[in-house]
A and B are shown apart, each in its own frame.
Chain A
């Protein structure tokens, strides 16, 4: 199935897990898909939490970048990037190599642990 280019993240969008967790990196015959966006409107932007279906399991994740152009001076990535997260906000992986937008630093309180494992900022 090859659908068109994905803009902001909503239900059934295929995402790319960007951290070095085992769940995100082991190959599976189905790509990880979003099944719910924790938002009033069903559109997920950078900094929103979503529910992913990976390897037959449900896992929460944080959106760190999408293909949809956002406000000016913010980066637009070539793929929809996501970091796997627990219910309390702790990331599952230990390192994030891909660049993360600086805007996430605004919500330092919720995402402090995710920002701590990030290496590059854009």
Chain B
């Protein structure tokens, strides 16, 4: 079929544009997450030591899947225990802290069972761990939820038989902007002080106390160049290395 343009010359047939197929499955696996224990700490140790450690960590990850999780997620961990019935014990709790680097990386799970607060520190790469399931994906406002020890018990109780809450892979991890209410003072640490920089507590202290706490603020620390540790380039390199090894 020919169309006659305004000049009077016949135009060439233009086929319709090809439809662009966006494969959502492939897009979902794109999220990059490098576990914080891969990033080497600042120091003068030989990078060879971290390289060897990373090889061991990747080997362990191939044998056993360690899911992506942050502080504030609710996890269920089954460990091998010779003294438990059926030789395996399961513990459900909220992750309040992730510490350590390399193979000694740990995370602390907290839960309240029968009105008794229990915290267990697990090692990520310990061969006794048989399974880590993420029951609920939810980030919190802080990196460290140690203040839950001084918060009202309702914020640390989680059902042991909780069903895993479904979460789509490609979506962003939701941030729970919950402001936790605390027990009356004294607390184990003075959480209102700016050193801890906690945003997830609803401080019901009088204005005078909050102002007094600001006396201990150190606004110069933010600009201290000797304390800077820029990990972006190191992370890029390690991410490439780790993802290539894991795909093999």
The residues of A with any CB-CB pair to B shorter than 8 Å are 2, 5, 65, 69, 72-79, 81, 97-99, 102-103, 105-106, 120-122
Which residues of chain A come closer than 8 Å to B118, judged between CB atoms?
Answer: 75-78, 99, 122
Question: With an 8 A cutoff between CB atoms, is B133 at the interface?
Answer: no
A interface, over-half SS: loop
13 new A-B contacts at CB < 8 Å, known A78-B118, A122-B89, A122-B120: A65-B116, A72-B106, A73-B79, A73-B120, A73-B123, A75-B118, A75-B119, A77-B117, A79-B117, A98-B113, A98-B115, A102-B83, A102-B84
The residues of B with any CB-CB pair to A shorter than 8 Å are 79, 81, 83-84, 89, 91, 106, 113-123, 126, 128, 149, 186, 188
Instruction: Return the chain B residue nearest A106 by Cβ.
Output: B83
A98 to B118, CA, bound (A): 10
A99 to B115, CA, bound (A): 10
- The answer to whether B117 and A69 touch across the interface, beta carbons within 8 angstroms, is no
Which residues of chain A come closer than 8 Å to B84, judged between CB atoms?
Answer: 102, 105, 121
- Give the distance to chain B from A24, nearest Cβ to Cβ, in Å: 15
Instruction: Return the chain A residue nearest B121 by Cβ.
Output: A72
A67 to B172, CA, bound (A): 37
Which residues of chain B come closer than 8 Å to A122, judged between CB atoms?
Answer: 89, 91, 113, 118, 120
